[in-house]
Amino acid sequence: MSDERLWTFFPHLRPSSVDDLRRLYRRWQAGAAPQAPDETWENWLCLLRTDGTPVGGAQATLFSDHEAMVAYATYTDYQRRGYTREAISRVLAHLAHDHGVNKVRAEMDRRNEASIGVVKALGFTRSSQRAGANDLAFELRISEATRE
């Protein structure tokens, strides 16, 4: 989690110490921000089935309108092996089946080719909804994700 390459597009979020990382995990575990009572957060640590090695993390923010936002990071040594695609595909199925989510969004810096590759591989398309100034927004109707 301290590898700078993981934080290229959001360096301000990079934990500066183990204590900082603990605080970040505690915040995520809280399940929602007090100032956003309509949101619920879910976070997963992604482990290899074979030996439990942690390879990355996935996040979902659930909104009250059956929509959700996903985010993800896979540790540098484990990238380009399909782990993020597999993890987010499982997250999408969970959001549909367990939370009735019907639309999922993802936003990323427009230079983040890896993240764009992930959403395109999962069938997301460009969203008409506004994203941050340097960001692109993609969306997926969840039935498309669970039809297989």
Binding site for ligand COA (CB under 6 A): 6, 9, 71-74, 79-85, 108, 112-115, 117-118, 121
**Which residue from 120, 119, 137 is spatially nearest to 128, judged by alpha carbons?**
137
- Nearest approach in angstroms of CB 57 to ligand COA is 9
Helix (H, G, I), strand (E, B) or coil at 16: coil
- Nearest approach in angstroms of CB 24 to ligand COA is 14
- Nearest approach in angstroms of CB 3 to ligand COA is 9
- Comparing CB distances to ligand COA, the nearer of 62 and 69 is 69
* Cα separation, 122 vs 144, whole angstroms: 9
- Nearest approach in angstroms of CB 6 to ligand COA is 5
Helix (H, G, I), strand (E, B) or coil at 137: strand
- Comparing CB distances to ligand COA, the nearer of 87 and 101 is 87
- Comparing CB distances to ligand COA, the nearer of 22 and 90 is 90
- Comparing CB distances to ligand COA, the nearer of 81 and 100 is 81
* Cα separation, 77 vs 69, whole angstroms: 26
Which pair of structure tokens corresponds to residue 108?
Answer: 């990323």
Please state, in angstroms and as integers, the Cα–Cα distance from residue 55 to each residue in 74, 78, 98, 125, following that order.
6, 6, 24, 26
